[in-house]
Amino acid sequence: MLASGSRGNAVLAYSGTRGVLVDCGISARQVRLRIEAAGLAGVRIEAVALTHEHADHTAGVRVLARTLEVPVLATPGTLHAASSTLADVPETAPLRLGDAIRVAGLSLTPFRSSHDAAEPVGFRISFPSGRALGYLSDSGVLTDETLEALAACEVLAVEANHDLEMLERGPYPAFLKARIRSAVGHLSNDDAAAGLAALAHDGLNTVIGLHLSEQNNTPHHALSALGRARERLGIDARVVAASQHEPLVCAV
């Protein structure tokens, strides 16, 4: 997890020396610096896969894709909505919901998320070991379709955007609070905890809270909600929060 939050999102999934970047909402320079800081400078990025077109997920993609000469993968709706952002990238390729694509030795399966974007998705990323990372960064609700896509993942990375009480008491205008709480907004800490309850299994080893709001959440609030769910469920999984500013390395 190179960056996660409202100021930019980027994730490097890799096996050996080959990898794919999921989202590029930080600069190409920051991507490189954070990969180096994580000790992964030897990993070659072979593609960028986008969850949706919002700037905190796409701001650096054009420069990165052109610099590395790699394709950008996204749903047709996202490719259309991000067409100006993706101008002059070497190649784009459409992703189809539910259809796995092989890239960098990994298998990426996009699934529908619920967000106010053109055709947003999360990803189930399967590694050569057979283990999987479930990644859902922006979504207002956890649908049955989403839960099915995330089932039996060894690492579960799910949005924990806001603490409901902090959001209600915070400085955002009423219309923005309503958007965040809506079915096409963002998952709260409690929503993420409910998702953990639905997705817990004996093989789950790590739960990562994503996209924490700097105004309406804290790592303490997010980890407390997920930690309480873990205790109720009696599972052994490590619970961590991804950072806006520092990379988080996790083994699948």
Within-domain flag for 249: no
Total count of domains within the chain: 1
Contact assessment for residue 157 and residue 135, using Cβ atoms and an 8 Å cutoff:
yes
Within-domain flag for 70: yes
Q: Please report the pLDDT score of residue 167 as a whole number.
A: 98
Within-domain flag for 14: yes
What CATH number corresponds to the domain at position 193?
3.60.15.10
Question: Which ranges constitute the DSSP H helices of the chain?
Answer: 28-37, 55-58, 61-68, 76-81, 144-150, 164-169, 174-181, 189-199, 219-233
Per residue of the chain (252 residues), give pLDDT as tens.
999 999 999 999 999 999 999 999 999 999 999 999 999 999 999 999 999 999 999 999 999 999 999 999 999 999 999 999 999 999 999 999 999 999 999 999 999 999 999 999 999 999 999 999 999 999 999 999 999 999 999 999 999 999 999 999 999 999 999 999 999 999 999 999 999 999 999 999 999 999 999 999 999 999 999 999 999 999 999 999 999 999 999 999
Within-domain flag for 247: no
Give the SS3 label for residue 58: helix
Q: Please report the pLDDT score of residue 33 as a whole number.
A: 98
Q: Please report the pLDDT score of residue 146 as a whole number.
A: 97
Within-domain flag for 64: yes
Tokens of 107: 């298998």
- Its pTM surpasses 0.85: yes
CA-to-CA dists, residue 145 to 7, 108, 132, angstroms: 28, 16, 17
Q: Please report the pLDDT score of residue 132 as a whole number.
A: 98
Q: Please report the pLDDT score of residue 59 as a whole number.
A: 98
Q: Provide the residue range defining the domain that includes 76.
A: 10-241
Within-domain flag for 15: yes
